[in-house]
Amino acid sequence: MKLFSSVNDVADIKQLVASALALKANPYAHSDLGKNKTLGLVFMNPSLRTRLSTQKAALNLGMNVMVMNMDKEGWALETQDGVIMNGTTVEHIREAAAVMGEYCDILGLRSFPKLQNREEDYNEEFFNKFVKFCGVPVVSLESATRHPLQSLADLVTIHETWEPYRIEAKAKPKVVLAWAPHIKPLPQAVPNSFAEWMSRAQAEGMLDFTIAQPEGFELNESFTTGAKISHNLDEAIADADYVYVKNWSSYKEYGKLLDFPEGWMMDNEKLKLTSNAKVMHCLPVRRDLELASEILDGPNSLVIHEAGNRLWSAQAVLKAMLEEIK
């Protein structure tokens, strides 16, 4: 694998999930694979889980790791061609990415959308230019439209926690992506990516997938092919085995904070409608705004387990990349 930016870069998702779980069972089985190889992690935006889990994953594979907090410590980057750089930008992405490629065997990049220009964000201009100019394999640490390491960890978590409890009467879990309230317009990267990965998993017979959101919060259709769509949370979560809670802002009214109806926060009352569902969230989460504390602190919450699986997911992806560049 030379690029990990979406589920479309993965030939076999079941094999990648199995690889992550094998690494979880035996973290140091490939501790020589990354010897004398360097991973560079470039952050244009804040991170806790992605930064630490990817770093640890690389260390488990014997890699060296360098982290660059470009937003705080780097030069201000110019991304447009043909501009006279007489403003605030100091270095062009052409040189910056190419130089990082000189120092690293694999690069990771986090670059959030600006949520100002939908076309620009959905064209992934920054991410794609970085990939083009750095000249080495790249793993997305969350781009403008996708967060594939998160989605892989989510699929690993569902597969891992469902398999031991599956019963013949219900061989596949019902997974619901449930919109949640927020006070800021957030990117669509996590729900886009989750929808894309779950749709693929559904197509491969691993689960049934539903998306619930208020009117006006529909995701870009290219990410939700095959998903059942509902505008009624209570109906959507009936008999659910997993509820994946996440806020996102409107794709249609791009970048705007829209009004939303009451009753979209998951709490213990809503949990009663489900099939004793496990509740997931990518974190960070705003307690009692997006998701009730009583769920986060209760037995149905998978959020810490899910965050823990970020490590094995990142390790599986880096392992697949190292196996190609060795």
Q: Which positions lie near ligand CP, rule CB under 6 A?
A: 47-51, 142, 150, 282-284
Query: Taking the complex as a whole, how short is the minimal distance between the CB of residue 157 and ligand CP, in angstroms?
Result: 12
Query: Taking the complex as a whole, how short is the minimal distance between the CB of residue 102 and ligand CP, in angstroms?
Result: 26
Q: How far apart are CA 175 and CA 183, in angstroms?
A: 26
Nearer to ligand CP, 151 or 274 (CB): 151
β-strands 106-110, 138-140 pairing: parallel
Q: How far apart are CA 319 and CA 20, in angstroms?
A: 10
Nearer to ligand CP, 190 or 212 (CB): 190
> What are the CA-CA distances from residue 192 to residues 56, 80, 108, 122 (Å)?
26, 26, 20, 11
Query: Taking the complex as a whole, how short is the minimal distance between the CB of residue 307 and ligand CP, in angstroms?
Result: 7
Query: Taking the complex as a whole, how short is the minimal distance between the CB of residue 296 and ligand CP, in angstroms?
Result: 15
Which residue has the closest beta carbon to ligand CP?
50
* Residue 151 main-chain phi, psi, to 5 deg: -65, -35
Residue located via tokens 């061989």 = 171
Query: Taking the complex as a whole, how short is the minimal distance between the CB of residue 171 and ligand CP, in angstroms?
Result: 29
Query: Taking the complex as a whole, how short is the minimal distance between the CB of residue 187 and ligand CP, in angstroms?
Result: 11
Nearer to ligand CP, 174 or 223 (CB): 223
Q: For residue 57, what is the DSSP state?
A: H
Nearer to ligand CP, 48 or 183 (CB): 48
Query: Taking the complex as a whole, how short is the minimal distance between the CB of residue 245 and ligand CP, in angstroms?
Result: 13
Q: How far apart are CA 109 and CA 211, in angstroms?
A: 28
Question: Could you give the 3-state DSSP secondary structure of residue 317?
Answer: helix
Query: Taking the complex as a whole, how short is the minimal distance between the CB of residue 290 and ligand CP, in angstroms?
Result: 13
Question: Could you give the 3-state DSSP secondary structure of residue 158?
Answer: helix
Do residues 231 and 213 touch, judged by C-beta distance below 8 A? yes
Nearer to ligand CP, 143 or 202 (CB): 143
The three-state DSSP-derived secondary structure of 176-226 is EEEECCCCCCCCCHHHHHHHHHHHHHHHCCCCEEEEECCCCCCCCHHHCCC
β-strands 278-280, 228-230 pairing: unpaired
Residue type, 295: I
Nearer to ligand CP, 101 or 108 (CB): 108
User: What's the token pair of residue 323?
Assistant: 């196996």
Nearer to ligand CP, 41 or 206 (CB): 41
Nearer to ligand CP, 143 or 161 (CB): 143
Question: Could you give the 3-state DSSP secondary structure of residue 81?
Answer: coil
Q: How far apart are CA 242 and CA 228, in angstroms?
A: 15
Nearer to ligand CP, 78 or 179 (CB): 179
What residues have CB less than 8 Å from 318, skipping those under 6 apart? 34, 39, 54, 57, 58, 61, 63, 106, 139
Query: Taking the complex as a whole, how short is the minimal distance between the CB of residue 244 and ligand CP, in angstroms?
Result: 12
